[in-house]
Structure 1
């Protein structure tokens, strides 16, 4: 089966919008690059304090990595400075971190930002955080130690998105790295873009489109993406193995053995790398660690900081480096290591672990049998990548649906009682149900809505689920983790569970005319388990 035509059209239009957003994000510091052409790779920018120069660094295999180097004002070679290495995000030029690099240099760091291989003017092909990208990171550290006043005992790495993934992977293979700040990245690549065994179509369409526009994808990457976007199940094992090699979680033992201090930051609504996989990874880290979740979508929680504007994520990133790279006793190691920002109130909450975020579970019983037809969008959906979660971040307007108007032939609907007091949802909601299909393959998408007196539902969380090779008309159990969140349900509202079969964010495998049935056997009742903080 292949993604629906509607989904493909939405994915294509979303890629165009995302490319525009990426261009705008990169545009602010573009004048700095124009003022200092890369044709003069070692020329310093006059009058700048700290100093900055553009350089060429030899990466793995001898390719050229375009980079910029910030050096603290007054550096004269008589002393060493801690060094931070910043690999760029997917499709972003080497000037991405200019504003933050300058701030770090003003705080006493040598900072090297470099364009990841295969993008823009750096050489090579896009390897998607493969072994060559990891080797490049070590080559950049080598260069910094040889050509700047960098202290070999005080090395840190940081990055956003693609850069975050490279940093985490590098920390498994380079013992010199003392601290990492991985913002809006991934720990498990397959769990990010293929969770619930479902292709995250808009997200991968965005990565594919921007990669083709700004870089040179390797033949391997082109093959993987082609098979992924056309839902070629015959190549599923190859794709999973490809992703496993590029997942920091695969090298968890090495990361723990090397002992780098790891700070992870992400957004609740990240539609490229959802937060669950970061939370799972965080719990397994053994060294110094910190986890921060905020409202927004992919890279939007730290995005304004790339313009040099005040930003909590980047402030804590510098504090993390100050303590674990520079050695400053600033107290960040004594703070609650899990920091969450509520989507509803904007207030920060600190916890001693991810497991402590929720104090109890509230179950919504999914009694009675529901049968729905497939291949039609009921009106419940997760929105569009970037746009929907940014509206939630800045205006507190998540995707909405009129619950009374959802056609029950297309959507299974259950509701809780009306809550007399507010419900502070914190953590990962889980669906447990029994499903029966008239076909051997299919897709369902589960949603949890906050519904007020007028019946308008605000999306709290959701997740897709796909199955294959099931015996038609034979029931089977389903356990699905929805995407983690922090959301406050007002007193007097209900929680409503909706399950349908089509969402523009995802591919779907429902054959024409198929039906799904959801039941709740007495021996194995169905429910939605909602984590709440009393």
Structure 2
């Protein structure tokens, strides 16, 4: 449904004289122009408009709205905006509320951000030769989230390309009930440098990074309100065609939450996953260089906004690329990516001491997985040298043939802690003949309110990935308690014991398939 205040203008309703006036005005200023657009409540949004040259087709040009990424000015999309305009799109990119010269305060995809998107559509239909029945939205990161939220609230949005975005904000930066501290600190810090966080966001950041568990329910409610997954029914009802793109190593919005969101959509949809970290898959395209993600975005809009029969609707909707190289793989749905699973037994009883980083870790936000994308060198650890006092280690037998990890590995174990709270971090490594382990995946898990000395079950999904394990290598499951990516909740002197009861054996379930 439409947000209150997102009024439909005469141009939206198809009023011929209004459309003609908009066309005449826009044709006089074809090319790039910088404008002020009144957003929700009249807040000024700084924007640029790229209009195709020449006469508009009957009914007007298709239009693409581009909200900017977090902390990035509206020039972010100029290269792609020009490419779209060159093929007949009106493109409007605007600085998201609270950033740079746009007015207001940072809302993090809140109601005012959704209202802004509708107001930008209003302005575009009234002031450019845009077709009111062919409105699309695209964006990277923050812009992706706003595009999805707008599509749930404004049925005029017919297609969205949401690149490096989020389906569930809480499951992104608070997965495993663990604060993703580097991601949150990066977002908070860049927000203060380039924008104006409002009092609500300041309080949320303070409570989140300060581990204020008394405010946990409030933080979760705040995040759910800003999660497209909360509005699945509206998205499916409105019917916008949704293209979701992400990177396997995204340390801000991990791929699991996007894949889960994708599976629940019933609209025309597509999921693309590539090597890299947050927004690195789209970066070269923003610089105007050839880029598969942006090429597929234009194909998506060409079909769902222009109506071109380019075959994108007949292709298998899940498209992935392995971190180990090779071409694209295509699947009919997410569950088909890793349908075959191998259980690796995590036998025995192992006790580790908390509060010390064993040397196994997930790397540095943005940097480590970007390096993996460019060089295929992920974070590395020498598995034989990991101190067993601080790290639990299990290893598979050597594989005789190459194994392809595709999808989501799942850890199940029984844990006993000497304290009522604690954090563990699980790592999956590809271990070569010399014991050097390359990180395949990881995920954190935090517990509170447990009875010291009493065992309890732990089920943890590691972050989804696509990785090829060479013949002669083995997989290793490593668990420790400290990682720079996350806030840990292990009291001083805590010990964690992992066991495998006969009635409930511990295991790692890995989506493996032979080459």
| Shorter-normalised TM range | over 0.9
Q: CA–CA distance in 1 between the matches of 2:210 and 2:56? A: 56
Instruction: Please give the TM-score of this superposition, normalised by the length of structure 1.
Output: 0.90
Residue 210 (structure 2) aligns with: 230
Of 179, 185, 200, 1:199 maps to 179
Q: CA–CA distance in 1 between the matches of 2:449 and 2:284? A: 46
What do the CA deviations read for 1:133-183 (whole angstroms, capped 9, x no partner)? 000000000000000000001000000000000000000110011100000
Residue 370 (structure 1) aligns with: 350
What do the CA deviations read for 1:416-438 (whole angstroms, capped 9, x no partner)? 01110111000000000000000
Q: Provide structure 1 residue ranges, at least 5 long, that are not aligned to the other structure.
A: 1-42
2:114 equivalent to 1:134: yes
Q: Provide structure 2 residue ranges, at least 5 long, that are not aligned to the other structure.
A: 1-24
Residue 85 (structure 1) aligns with: 65
2:100 equivalent to 1:120: yes
Q: Deviation of residue 78 (structure 1)? A: 7.0
Whether contact under 8 Å (1:82, 1:325) holds in the other structure is yes
Q: CA–CA distance in 1 between the matches of 2:513 and 2:53? A: 48
What do the CA deviations read for 1:21-72 (whole angstroms, capped 9, x no partner)? xxxxxxxxxxxxxxxxxxxxxx99x9x9x61100000000111000000101
2:277 equivalent to 1:297: yes
What's the Cα RMSD here? 1.4
Specify whether residues 178 and 77 from structure 1 end up closer, same or farther in structure 2 by C-alpha distance, changes over 3 A only: closer
Residue 497 (structure 2) aligns with: 517
Residue 71 (structure 1) aligns with: 51
Of 314, 335, 349, 2:329 maps to 349
Q: Deviation of residue 75 (structure 1)? A: 3.6
Q: CA–CA distance in 2 between the matches of 1:304 and 1:523? A: 52
Q: Deviation of residue 77 (structure 1)? A: 8.8
2:146 equivalent to 1:178: no
Q: Deviation of residue 532 (structure 1)? A: 1.8
Residue 471 (structure 2) aligns with: 491
What do the CA deviations read for 1:194-213 (whole angstroms, capped 9, x no partner)? 00000000000000000000
Q: CA–CA distance in 2 between the matches of 1:306 and 1:192? A: 24
2:453 equivalent to 1:473: yes
Residue 405 (structure 1) aligns with: 385
Residue 361 (structure 2) aligns with: 381
Whether contact under 8 Å (1:336, 1:350) holds in the other structure is yes
Whether contact under 8 Å (1:357, 1:533) holds in the other structure is no
Specify whether residues 498 and 155 from structure 1 end up closer, same or farther in structure 2 by C-alpha distance, changes over 3 A only: same
| Runs of 4 or more above 4 Å deviation | 76-79
Q: Residue 360 of structure 1 aligns to a residue in which SS?
A: coil
2:415 equivalent to 1:435: yes
Q: CA–CA distance in 2 between the matches of 1:269 and 1:300? A: 10
Residue 108 (structure 1) aligns with: 88
What do the CA deviations read for 1:473-529 (whole angstroms, capped 9, x no partner)? 000000000000000000000000000000000000001111000000000000000
Within-5 A mapping of 1:263-342:
263-342=243-322
Of 122, 133, 138, 1:153 maps to 133
Q: CA–CA distance in 1 between the matches of 2:291 and 2:203? A: 38
Q: Residue 260 of structure 2 aligns to a residue in which SS?
A: helix
Instruction: Please give the TM-score of this superposition, normalised by the length of structure 2.
Output: 0.94
Residue 13 (structure 1) aligns with: none
Of 153, 164, 167, 2:147 maps to 167
Q: Deviation of residue 73 (structure 1)? A: 1.2
